Structure 1
């Protein structure tokens, strides 16, 4: 069928040095002033709002065995904003029933499909069209409209994996010591995450986002759903509304950073969580310390440990207030209950295709055994 629908352990000396550099306001300064880096060529990363880009995004799921009733939930690129316009969703396959559904409390929309055993091998294809563009904050302007009070309250609330008391609150106060404004707080937290955390390539998927466990263990290694969750939790803990934005890389970066883009033909593993903070006068402001840490760890063969390095500095500047528009936003929700699911537990977030049958929930971080593919192509605007 188809339907359209318009606590912390001691850090090594170099980590302490990195943190002192950041907290002294040197992190994003000119790399040419650094000993040993003067001869290096600084790269460019300057996303700016411009023309809209149109993409077609196709997710295909095949469940190899029939074991009772099979249920699938696919995220939709459903965020409507000044950087994304959802256009259309069409689906097909042999589902007994399929519809756009929503988590009853969070309101997150998704494609839900159910397959009776007699339907045979479950197969589902979701095709979405959307438009995206880059973001960059004009810090000289303060003309953003006021936000809905309920949305701001939600962006200040704890979640199951983002508590706002105890070590989270203590860490947030440390990161924002001396801050006078919300912008100062956000800058202090962004710099603290870049200085104190690191990208851990061995983390499965995008991580779990359990920030209390990370802070208590002192192991601040993870991936985007861990690292940006730390940013969001620390912001909320000092009274700055913030939220994770879960999504998917769609295309290569226009600035030549291999770690900041996706292979459009095969987006398996291209899921990426970003973040936003709400600042009066500026509205929702783009943030992505996790991608700064990804560039530091993976963009070059050597792990770059100084954010003022000429490869990293442009990204560290650009991702404080900006994003590149080669990425689609699914949703901004935590603690999701899947409509129709037999599981009692919630999902920390919805960023991957999810499935279950009579034997339980599938491993969404193993797309080869789950057998799902995601691809995108850019269309003429």
Structure 2
């Protein structure tokens, strides 16, 4: 009888501890929520009231290369409200035949689509909106980091056309992140590597193409270049990361912001969320004012732009190798930030301001 009670007690202990009698181990809730200790030199627990900006922004586009065309099609990034920006009072006007607001689906990038059939006058459109933007401050990193990643987030570990995650990219990333175990530590190491080893190149058109393999050798570029490298290196060592494409409101109260397009990056810290980084703006400051890494201004900017994004930034969307909606005819788009126009299926150069012209103006509210 005593022996029977002993066996029963053993069975109860095995069941309570999650050990199966048939060779399968039940993963406890505690295991799925396991965490690793993390620390960052960019950590800050200071409670700061985020700054804010409000402005009226207007995009104006005229397509000069339209004569003899059967169909002209245009897609404009359509910013939407989120936790950090509120988009209101949208106005759309022009001489288009059809228009609509669409999503590209999986990435959830929104766009304003317009088309003209057999146009007899210059196709034009005006797109305006009010934006209230708040500064993003995400520097109060927790002491520990979860190890599991949401399935939807894992898409941001995948390579794209110009953003490779293997070969020389992976080798470089593994050297940079050697000994680092958390997403935060790896991201910090990649950020520091870019700030310390890359340079801004003002000869690059627009924001750059973000061709990571070439950038590994040249180590210079503009914002889309720098943050494409950031994304590639981060993904190579298991940290979800993405580029964010948008435009910045200048410091003045009103004026032209056509040349203010800007790309930043974000990495995902499990259990904490997406964290903004902007190594490009640190490099821009260094070039503009001819400063070295040990300059106090550079140190301040370097600390600020890991985990913070200014109130001047208006987000459009993310992703590479974009298929627009309705789908474009000239092949996938490297990224969707500038106005994109096709005339009878042929893509026009959105950087030259030759085949079609666009301006972006703003006024503080």
TM-score when normalising by structure 1: 0.77
Which residue is equivalent to 1:211? 212
The answer as to 2:295 corresponding to 1:267 is no
Deviations along 1:288-321, one digit per CA (max 9) or x if unpaired, are 00111111112x2xx33x3221221111110011
Which is bigger in relative contact order (C-alpha 8 A, separation at least 6)? 1
1:242 alignment partner in structure 2: 241
Native 8 Å contact 2:330 2:346 kept in 1: no
Secondary structure at the counterpart of residue 170 of structure 1: helix
Cα distance between partner residues in 2 of 1:91 and 1:345:
27
SS at match of 1:153: helix
The offset of 1:148, in angstroms, is: 8.3
Post-superposition Cα deviations, 1:24-54, rounded to whole Å, max 9, x if no partner, equal xxx99xxxxxxxxxxxxxxxxx995425432
**Partners of 1:290 and 1:104 in 2: how far apart?**
29
Cα deviation 1:248-271 (Å, max 9, x = unaligned)? 01121xxxxxxxxx8841111110
1:293 aligns with 2:273: no
Find the counterpart in structure 2 of residue 311 from structure 1. 297
Counterpart of 1:59 in structure 2 is 59
Alignment deviations for residues 220-239 of structure 1 (CA, whole Å, 9 cap, x no partner): 11100000111111111111
CA drift of 1:174 comes to 1.1
Alignment deviations for residues 116-156 of structure 1 (CA, whole Å, 9 cap, x no partner): 12452101011122221112224255799999824311211
In structure 1, what is the equivalent of residue 229 of structure 2? 230
Number of equivalenced pairs: 320
**Which residue pairs with 1:50 in the alignment?**
50
2:331: which partner in 1?
Answer: 345
Return structure 1 stretches of 4+ with deviation > 4 angstroms.
Answer: 46-49, 140-148
SS in 2 for 1:376: strand
User: Which deviates further from its counterpart, 360-369 or 48-57?
Assistant: 48-57
Structure 2 counterpart of 1:329: 315
**Cα deviation 1:89-134 (Å, max 9, x = unaligned):** 3211000001102224533210000011245210101112222111
Q: 2:157, 2:231 → 1: CA distance?
A: 9
Residues 170-194 of structure 1: per-residue CA shift (max 9 Å, x gap):
1111111121322111111001111
SS at match of 1:155: helix
SS in 2 for 1:352: coil
Report if the CA contact (8 A) 2:145-2:269 is conserved.
Answer: no
Determine the structure 2 residue equivalent to 1:95.
Answer: 96
- Based on CA coordinates, which of the two structures has the bigger radius of gyration? 2
CA change 1:104–1:204 in 2 (3 A) is same
| Shift, 1:368, TM fit | 5.6
What is the root-mean-square deviation in Å for CA atoms of aligned residues? Answer: 2.7
For structure 1, which runs of at least 5 residues remain unmatched after alignment?
A: 1-26, 29-45, 253-261
Query: Hey, what's the Cα distance between the residues in 1 that align with 2:116 and 2:275?
Result: 41
Q: Retained in 2: the 8 A contact 1:106–1:336?
A: no
* TM-score normalised by L of structure 2: 0.81
For 1:126 and 1:89, locate their aligned partners in 2 and report how far apart those are by CA, in whole Å: 7
